[in-house]
């Protein structure tokens, strides 16, 4: 969802970068997006603190503060990623089952989809809160497929984060990488197809 459907990934990354700076860790929002987009707070923060050889504080208040700041920042300000809403509406019109499988909390998923007026377009929603392991493990994608009633081999994941792309492949699903990069480096992103916009996808050729 974040970075594929809505612009909330950029908001999340900016807040995470600010919070990490408060602990003496200087990592840019773009670096956080590239390395940790789609990763849960309980996985991302320990990984970053370890990466920078910093002592990890109590994770629970850190994660709660992150969500507090994110909710405050995005309410009434959520924008769709260009090309995504049209893609969703096309799939809906074509009666293709679609789901959201996100590392975000369920209440945040509901907020984003409601503000974009697309909540009812999805046949299923799965949050990483509901599964034992977050991305790069495949749990949330497998839960979404189960709720759709579709075998994983017939599912296509659209992901903007490397960790999510890895999770999609672990789930046995095909993966479209939506990346905002000048160079679509297939060696860098573990997806089957790389695009800069969902408007560039010929849906008939990947169904």
Maximum Cα–Cα distance across the chain: 51
* Rounded Cα–Cα distance for residues 124 and 98 (Å): 7
Whether pTM exceeds 0.85 = yes
Q: What is the pLDDT of residue 20?
A: 97
The label of the residue with tokens 């979404």 reads 144
Contact predicate 126/63, CB 8 Å: no
* Rounded Cα–Cα distance for residues 66 and 197 (Å): 28
* Rounded Cα–Cα distance for residues 93 and 159 (Å): 22
Q: What is the pLDDT along the chain (207 residues), one digit of tens a residue?
A: 999 999 999 999 999 999 999 999 999 998 998 888 888 899 999 999 999 999 999 999 999 999 999 999 998 889 999 999 999 999 999 999 999 999 999 999 999 999 999 999 999 999 999 999 999 999 999 999 999 999 999 999 999 989 999 999 999 999 999 987 766 777 789 999 999 888 877 766 665
141, two tokens: 């994608």
Is residue 9 within a helix (H) or strand (E), and if so which, with residue range? Answer: helix 8-21
* Rounded Cα–Cα distance for residues 121 and 204 (Å): 19
Own/partner contacts of 171-176, CB < 8 Å, gap of 24 or more, are 171/138, 171/141, 171/142, 171/145, 172/138, 173/141, 173/145, 174/206, 176/201, 176/206
Domains of the chain, first to last: 8-74 (1.10.150), 84-205 (3.40.50.1000)
- Give the residue from 109, 124, 135 showing the smallest Cα distance to 190: 135
Is residue 194 within a helix (H) or strand (E), and if so which, with residue range? Answer: strand 193-195
* Main-chain dihedrals φ then ψ at residue 55, nearest 5 degrees: -70, 130
């Amino acid at each position: 969802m974040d970075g594929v459907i809505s612009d909330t990934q950029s908001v999340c990354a900016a807040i995470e970068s600010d919070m990490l700076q408060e602990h003496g860790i200087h990592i840019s929002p773009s670096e956080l997006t590239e390395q940790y987009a789609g990763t849960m707070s309980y996985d991302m923060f320990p990984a970053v603190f370890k990466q920078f050889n910093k002592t990890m504080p109590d994770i629970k208040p850190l994660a709660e503060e992150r969500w507090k700041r994110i909710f405050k920042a995005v309410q009434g300000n959520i924008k769709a990623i260009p090309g995504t809403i049209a893609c969703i509406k096309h799939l809906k019109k074509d009666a293709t089952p679609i789901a959201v499988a996100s590392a975000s909390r369920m209440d945040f998923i509901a907020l984003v989809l409601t503000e974009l007026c697309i909540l009812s377009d999805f046949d299923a929603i799965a949050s990483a809160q509901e599964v034992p392991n977050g991305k790069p493990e495949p749990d949330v994608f497998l839960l979404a497929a189960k709720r759709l009633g579709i075998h994983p081999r017939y599912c296509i994941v659209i992901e903007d984060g490397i960790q999510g792309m890895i999770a999609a492949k672990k789930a046995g699903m095909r993966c479209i990488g939506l990346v905002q990069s000048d160079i679509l480096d297939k060696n860098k992103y573990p997806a089957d197809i790389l695009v800069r916009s969902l408007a560039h996808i010929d849906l008939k050729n990947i169904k």
